[in-house]
Amino acid sequence: MGLKITWYGQSAFGLEAEGKSVLIDPFLQNPVLQTDPASVTPGTILLTHAHNDHVGSTVEIAKRAGSTVIATFELANFIGSQGVENVIGGNHGGTVAFDGGTAKFTPAWHTSSYSHEGKVVAPGVPAGFVVRFGGKTMYFAGDTALFMDMQLIADEELDLAVIPIGDLFTMGPKDAVKAATFLRAGTVIPCHYNTFPAIAQDANAFKADVENETASKVIVLQPGESTEL
Distance (Å, rounded) from C-alpha 111 to C-alpha 126? 6
Distance (Å, rounded) from C-alpha 63 to C-alpha 20? 18
| Structural domains of the chain in order of their starting residue, each with its CATH number | 4-222 (3.60.15.10)
Distance (Å, rounded) from C-alpha 141 to C-alpha 150? 9
Residue-level pLDDT at 1: 62
Helix (H) or strand (E) holding 205: helix 203-213
Distance (Å, rounded) from C-alpha 24 to C-alpha 42? 10
pTM, rounded to two decimals:
0.97
> For a pLDDT cut of 90, what percent of the chain falls above it?
94
Output DSSP code: residue 38: G
Q: What are phi and psi of 78, to 5 degrees?
A: -65, -45
**pLDDT tens across 20-39, in order?**
999 999 999 999 999 999 99
- Whose CA is closest to 101, among 38, 164, 57, 42? 42
Give Cα separations from 178 to 50, 85, 223 (angstroms). 26, 40, 25
CA atoms within 13 A on the CB side of 71: 36
CA atoms within 13 A on the CB side of 43: 14
> For a pLDDT cut of 70, what percent of the chain falls above it?
100
Output DSSP code: residue 222: P
Q: Are the C-beta atoms of residues 199 and 192 closer than 8 Å to each other?
A: yes
> Is the confidence at residue 122, as pLDDT, over 90?
no
Mapped onto helix, strand or coil, the DSSP state of residue 39 is helix
Residue-level pLDDT at 119: 85
> Which tops the pLDDT comparison, 26 or 121?
26
Residue-level pLDDT at 14: 98
**pLDDT tens across 139-175, in order?**
999 999 999 999 999 999 999 999 999 999 999 999 9
Output DSSP code: residue 97: E
Average pLDDT, the chain: 97
Mapped onto helix, strand or coil, the DSSP state of residue 3 is coil
Give Cα separations from 85 to 2, 54, 79, 95, 160 (angstroms). 31, 20, 9, 20, 31
State the CB neighbour count (10 A cutoff) for residue 182: 18
Residues 169-194 have a mean pLDDT of 98
**pLDDT tens across 5-24, in order?**
999 999 999 999 999 999 99
**pLDDT tens across 34-47, in order?**
999 999 999 999 99
Distance (Å, rounded) from C-alpha 61 to C-alpha 40? 8
Residues 46-57 have a mean pLDDT of 97
> Is the confidence at residue 116, as pLDDT, over 90?
no
